[in-house]
Structure 1
Amino acid sequence: MGVKYNREYKEIVEDFMKAILQIDDCYDAFEMEQKEWLELAPEEQRAYLRTLADDLFYGLGTSRTIAVGSGQIRYNPSKHTIQVTDARDVVRIVNLV
C-alpha cells in the first residue's frame, strides 16, 4: 500500500519528529525509562526520534495504526495526514501534501 506524500520527505520527518515528541512516554518505543531518555543529549534524542519517525512512516504503509508509548500514530490516506495522539487527545496532525 505505502504512504502517499507530495511534500519533501525531510520536512515531513521533521514535523513527525516534533509530533512524536508530544507523546509523554515516546521513549517507551526505545525500551527506555524516562530517566534514561532525559540523560541523553538533545542531539542523541533527535537521532532516536529521526530513526523512529522513519520506521513509523514506512510501517504506516502496511498498518494504519501503530502504538508508541501511551499514544498512537494513525495514517489517514483519504486526508493525506498522519495523526499523532497521546493517551488523551490528538496532539498533532502531520500533513503529507
Structure 2
Amino acid sequence: MGVKHGREYNDILQDLIQALGKIPDRYIFFEMEEEDWARLGEKDRLEVDEALAEDLFYALGSEKMISVGSGVVIHDQELHRLNILIGDDELDFVSLI
C-alpha cells in the first residue's frame, strides 16, 4: 500500500534515494556483505538504492520504523515525512506532501 503522500511518487523516491545514500552501510538491509557492495559499480549501487527506497516506501505504510544498516527510517504520520537517522542524529528527511 505504501505511505500516504501528496507529492509525486517519483519525486519522493528520488529524495529518499538521496537520503538513504547517507547511511554508509545501507546494503546490510539486503544482507549484502561490505565486500559485495564494494565490488558493485555506480550503476548497480543506484539500482540497489532504488530497490531499497521502493521497498521502504511500501513497507512504511504498515511499519512505523525500519532499520537500514546502522540507520533507521521512521514514518512520521503527523508531519507527513520520512525521517532518516543514525542513532539520535537526523541525517535527512523526505517530505511526503
Q: Same fold (TM over 0.5)?
A: yes
Asked whether the equivalents of residues 22 and 86 of structure 1 are also in contact (C-alpha less than 8 Å), the reply is no
Amino acid at match of 1:63: E
Residues 2 and 27 of structure 1: CA distance in aligned 2, closer, same or farther (over 3 Å): closer
1:43 corresponds to: 43
Asked whether the equivalents of residues 64 and 75 of structure 1 are also in contact (C-alpha less than 8 Å), the reply is yes
Asked whether the equivalents of residues 24 and 86 of structure 1 are also in contact (C-alpha less than 8 Å), the reply is no
Give the Cα separation in 2 of the matches to 1:10 and 1:65: 21
Residues 87 and 24 of structure 1: CA distance in aligned 2, closer, same or farther (over 3 Å): farther
SS at match of 1:75: strand
Offset of 1:95 from its aligned partner? 0.5
Give the Cα separation in 2 of the matches to 1:20 and 1:83: 10
Offset of 1:61 from its aligned partner? 0.6
Give the Cα separation in 2 of the matches to 1:91 and 1:39: 26
Give the Cα separation in 1 of the matches to 2:25 and 2:36: 12
1:84 corresponds to: 84
Offset of 1:36 from its aligned partner? 1.4
Give the Cα separation in 1 of the matches to 2:34 and 2:15: 22
Offset of 1:88 from its aligned partner? 4.6
Amino acid at match of 1:33: E
**Root-mean-square deviation over aligned CA pairs:** 1.4
The two structures have a TM-score, normalised by structure 1, of 0.92
- Mark the runs of 5 or more structure 2 residues left unpaired by the alignment: none
Offset of 1:87 from its aligned partner? 3.5
Aligned residue pairs: how many?
97
Residues 2 and 44 of structure 1: CA distance in aligned 2, closer, same or farther (over 3 Å): closer
SS at match of 2:5: coil
- 2:17 is the alignment partner of 1:20: no
Q: Tell me the percent identity.
A: 37
